[in-house]
Structure 1
Amino acid sequence: MSKKKLRSQEWYGRTGKDGFIYRSWMKNQGLPHHLFEGEKPVIGICNTWSEFTPCNAHFKELAESLKQGIWEAGGFPLEFPVMSLGECSIKPTAMLFRNLASMDVEESIRANPMDGVVLMCGCDKTTPSLVMGAASVDLPTMVISGGPMLVGRFKGRKIGTSDIWRLAEDFKMGRISQEEMIEAEAAMSRSRGSCAPMGTASTMAAMVESLGLSLPDNATIPAADSRRKVLAHMTGIRIVEMVKEDMKMSKILTRKAFENSIMVNAALGGSTNFILHLTAIAKRIGVEIDLTDFDHFSAKIPLIANVQPSGEYWVEDLFYAGGLPAVMREIESALHRDEITANGKTIGENISKAECYDRELIGTMEKPIKPDSGIAVLKGNLCPSGAVIKPSAATPGLLTHTGKAVVFETIDDFKAKVDDPNLDVDENSVLVLKNVGPKGYPGMPEVGNMTLPKKILEKGIKDMVRISDGRMSGTGFGTVVLHVSPESAIGGPLALVQDGDMIELNVPNRTLNLLISDEEFEKRKAAFKPLELPYDRGYVNLFLDRVNQAHDGVDFDFLQGSSGSEVKRDSH
């Protein structure tokens, strides 16, 4: 059997002028000629390092461990940068630029001479953007995540990102000072890595591990732990083997792999953002999933991991208790265990010897941490295309609730009115925030878990039903209905809600309804005027013109479906 020609040889294997051009300038980096002769697979290292993305700021060092593994296995590593998305810094939201970064990744991989690629991901949107872009090219691909930061310590207690919401309430109520808030800032973020709870970053790391795109333990090894470097080294070895085996992403990302990932996310109480990103990735690789799949495959899985915001502990603690393999072992009867993963083994083989070392951290199917987990998908006249809620992070008594709407037309309207002592609101009200969906507030920001009105906090109330067409940080919690689709900015039913309307939420029945007559509904719909969107140039204009709604993953319509890795003829 003849050996398959490496893709990189379409560049480096040429003779005459064309070969000269592709090789000569590369040699100014001190690279010897034999590296270009076709025996060593070229492995692209897609690095989202940036000092504006602090969760990924250690990636230069991590890349060196990755390169060592690639060299050891006989590969030729070449690192390249792509747009980095730092959730804590970028305005108006990193989600606005997820699709742009995915296009950067796709075209960087397609246009350059690489045979396989390792995606270096960390902060929330860097993982889905890189996986989406790579899926559209379909080369042998692995993911190495940056890992969670070590748990913070503040005034004798552990703190992490979920405590931001608690600290914000304390500050609003005058229980802590600005000086104490500054002290807490440093105490919380005391090491490299992404958020300490099961926020979106760790949810995404778990997503790629459960899909089979990474080595086992990728999701939970802390960023500061030397074993993260070892994982990178071993990833480097394995990606070279994957190229030789021609194990492309499409061989791993099957329909059953996506079903596994949904079930694992339920067991973790992972971020609601998981829905948007997994849906977008599936559509890029050509696998059809929709909101009903998230509800169906989550429904039979209880909360197994006792990790904030759904539980009590942290991702660092989960690693010490056995990590994601131990969590998956507890739900293995529900998983598709024969699905192949990047290390060449099946999911079942990867978790067969996993052990739990702490039952406070990892429950069982018979004795779970909580009976409800995953993501519930709601339908009704307020969300005909769907809305989502995370029951494990909600107040049980509010999962069935009827209350009077208190409406905020925009995020600025919310900020101006929420703490007004004259606001007509009580603990039974339903807070409704409009125009924060994909188009209404371009990019769909994480403002859905609205802070409670001060007059409500003064009563000692900690939670209320909140509804929006926006998103929520994976570190957030509360009885928060998100991703209402279609969004209000384009005339979705949420746009029609008025102060004083009664809204009925019934999570057990999976319904969300606005309790007005059909006649009144149609009257308001006829009077609706779309929101004026003040963008007329550049990428944001493209986003507004071509972005899908939340139930379709907020991706661009023209990017769905893999287009392969063929190299177009050059013009040299």
Structure 2
Amino acid sequence: MNWRSKSFLGAPEGAMARSFYKSMGYTDADLEKPVIAVVNTWNTVCPGQYNLRSVAEAVKEGIRAAGGMPVEFGTIGPCDGIAQGHEGMHYILPSREIIAASIELMVEAHRLDGMVLLGSCDKVVPGLLMAAARLNLPTILVNGGPMYPGEYRGRHISGNEVHIALGALRAGKISSEEFKEIENCACPTPGSCTMMGTANTMCCLAEALGLSLPGSATIPAIASQRLQVAQEAGRRSVDLVLKGIRARDIITKESLENAIRVGLAIGGSTNFVLHLLALAHEAGIDLSIDDFDRLSQETPYIASLMTASEYDMIDFHQAGGVPAVMNQLLPLLHGACLTVNGKTVAENVQGVKIKNSEVIRTLDNPFLPTGGLAVLKGNLAPLSAICKPAAIKKERWYVRGRAKVFNSEEELVQAIHAGRIQRGDMLVVRYEGPKGGPGMREMYTAMEMLAGYELAEYVYVLTDGRFSGSNFGGFVGHISPEAAEGGPLALVEDGDLITVDIPHRTLTLEVSQEELERRKQAWRKPAPKIRSGFLGLYAQLVKSAHYGAVLGF
């Protein structure tokens, strides 16, 4: 019994703790077993977390069956979709830090031996993974699974279709009856949104890392297999404790590179760059944004999913999911990396076949020869910026146009509805970065409105904020240094020429250095938008998106 809970539960001095546990029905026999935390983000606010109550029960059954003592506690699980387009989005990226810290506090205070982490959504899964790396205990992650797609007039749709429809409604392209029909059918079941947004990207990358059971990331939320794999995860968590296999035995530089390659191959959300940088930071692993572009140049894009294509996450699961992608990528992967089922990556994916070649292609017949994301640099992004070529038409990979400048997402949305946006515009949205937002809001609503007005594929949105994995059209985000730090984005003026050159990985403001220096001298840092509460503290501590928007204690 070398697990850490026994350092006090098994000693006479642990009598009070044993007594407290017994008050809830635990027995002396239970208290001789490894104590496994079931960390549950269940709530009835977020559909991605809605089914986790039943998932948690299955996990606990597995823990008990394997000889462990399950103890369950909850933490927050916010919904990016409900928080979109208003003040609530300021709080979403910061929630990642609260999730990680709350798990740290509970697990360390009670000296628990291992963890099963339950979550599905955009900042929830990254927060859980960060806690795993920070605590370095035996850990396994179980997601709740994607929702089924909506059916609208013969085609599959996802939740983001509602915002596109809102733009179309405002533009007079659809009726209010059609709009209501889309609203009512877009999300027919609980689960994470059925496109390759940040939620499903991060669930897939948790599996690619080796912290989730093979094939589990894409099991639909309402499938019976979801509960079966949860029970198996509970059993595996006890085995990890007994064998002393810790999170950082699985989270390594090599497994992070595997996860990055999978994210690039599936056209994952631009946000996964932030989250894997933050995970590496927690694990003490040297990973930089340049690693993402290096791997992107070497990794083909082989799985095309909504919104880059018509295929949803259920299609992806039925086509073979993450194991089929990793089987194709195996020549590029570190196949010897350990996973939570005790096998290596190579052992887990060997022989897995593609079941639908329209969804997943072979390595020698990719959708694109390079990865779904690209890192841009230049005088407008001296550190870095992120774009998603997988969601941008190839003829729009090189664009030159004149700037229209907005100091918030709301200003851009108002301009869209006022008819002030024209094809060819380079729409600069600044003071939305980690510090300036604060909280680095997504420009999701603006992008979906542009799609509704049939403008998304004819303009570029350039921002120090973020984008949703569901966005498509022309967009570059995470521009660093951000405007609030005095980055060049703060110096752009209406009418300036800007060039986006994805093939050459550059983002250029065509203004002389002398003129930029003059503007810099005249620039004054804006007052913080929010001074109080956690966001006030966050704005003081958060680092640049270039470093994963981690807190810089």
- Structure 2 length as normaliser, TM-score? 0.96
- Residue 570 of structure 1 aligns with which residue? none
Counterpart residue type for residue 174 of structure 1: G
The answer to whether the 8 Å contact 1:448/1:468 transfers is no
Q: Which moved more, 1:161-170 or 1:358-367?
A: 161-170
**Distance (Å, rounded) in 2 between the aligned partners of 1:427 and 1:20:** 72
Counterpart among 23, 31, 51 of residue 44 in structure 2: 51
- 1:542-557 correspondence to structure 2 within 5 Å: 542-557=537-552
Q: CA deviation at 1:449?
A: 7.1
Counterpart among 23, 35, 40 of residue 28 in structure 1: 23
- Residue 138 of structure 1 aligns with which residue? 136
Q: CA deviation at 1:551?
A: 0.7
**Distance (Å, rounded) in 2 between the aligned partners of 1:537 and 1:405:** 33
2:245 matches 1:247: yes
Q: CA deviation at 1:58?
A: 0.9
**What is the aligned-residue identity percentage?**
38
Q: Residues 12 and 459 (structure 1 numbering): CA distance in 2 closer, same or farther, change over 3 Å?
A: closer
Counterpart residue type for residue 302 of structure 1: P
Could you say what secondary structure the match of 1:114 adopts? coil
2:233 matches 1:235: yes
2:60 matches 1:63: no
- 1:163-562 correspondence to structure 2 within 5 Å: 163-421=161-419, 423=420, 425-447=421-443, 450-451=446-447, 462-558=457-553
**Distance (Å, rounded) in 1 between the aligned partners of 2:347 and 2:449:** 51
Q: Residues 479 and 96 (structure 1 numbering): CA distance in 2 closer, same or farther, change over 3 Å?
A: same
The answer to whether the 8 Å contact 2:413/2:449 transfers is no
Q: CA deviation at 1:95?
A: 0.9
Q: Residues 416 and 163 (structure 1 numbering): CA distance in 2 closer, same or farther, change over 3 Å?
A: closer
Q: CA deviation at 1:254?
A: 0.8
**Distance (Å, rounded) in 2 between the aligned partners of 1:376 and 1:78:** 42
Counterpart residue type for residue 531 of structure 1: P
Could you say what secondary structure the match of 2:332 adopts? coil
Q: CA deviation at 1:180?
A: 2.9
- Residue 8 of structure 1 aligns with which residue? 5
- Residue 99 of structure 1 aligns with which residue? 97
- 1:62-141 correspondence to structure 2 within 5 Å: 62-90=55-83, 91-93=88-90, 94-141=92-139
Q: CA deviation at 1:219?
A: 1.6
Q: Which moved more, 1:172-181 or 1:66-75?
A: 172-181
Q: Residues 209 and 183 (structure 1 numbering): CA distance in 2 closer, same or farther, change over 3 Å?
A: same
Q: CA deviation at 1:19?
A: 2.0
After superposition, the C-alpha distances for 1:431-481 in whole angstroms (9 at most, x for unaligned) are 111111111111111116734888x97787743122001111111112200
Q: CA deviation at 1:21?
A: 1.1
After superposition, the C-alpha distances for 1:203-254 in whole angstroms (9 at most, x for unaligned) are 0101110111010012211111111111101101111000011000111111
Q: CA deviation at 1:490?
A: 1.8
After superposition, the C-alpha distances for 1:143-180 in whole angstroms (9 at most, x for unaligned) are 00111001111223211134245323322222223343
The answer to whether the 8 Å contact 1:388/1:483 transfers is yes
**Distance (Å, rounded) in 2 between the aligned partners of 1:536 and 1:450:** 26
After superposition, the C-alpha distances for 1:328-383 in whole angstroms (9 at most, x for unaligned) are 11111111101111111100000003111111111011111333432100110101
Counterpart residue type for residue 142 of structure 1: I
The answer to whether the 8 Å contact 1:449/1:466 transfers is no
Counterpart residue type for residue 376 of structure 2: L
The answer to whether the 8 Å contact 2:403/2:425 transfers is yes
The answer to whether the 8 Å contact 1:387/1:482 transfers is yes
The answer to whether the 8 Å contact 1:380/1:513 transfers is yes
Q: Residues 243 and 253 (structure 1 numbering): CA distance in 2 closer, same or farther, change over 3 Å?
A: same
Q: CA deviation at 1:14?
A: 2.0
Counterpart residue type for residue 443 of structure 1: G
**Distance (Å, rounded) in 1 between the aligned partners of 2:50 and 2:533:** 28
How many pairs align?
Answer: 548
Counterpart residue type for residue 78 of structure 2: L
**Distance (Å, rounded) in 2 between the aligned partners of 1:298 and 1:237:** 36
Q: CA deviation at 1:27?
A: 1.3
The answer to whether the 8 Å contact 2:296/2:370 transfers is no
Counterpart among 139, 149, 152 of residue 151 in structure 1: 149
Could you say what secondary structure the match of 1:418 adopts? helix
The answer to whether the 8 Å contact 2:211/2:339 transfers is yes
- Residue 565 of structure 1 aligns with which residue? none
- Runs of 5+ unmatched residues, structure 1: 559-572
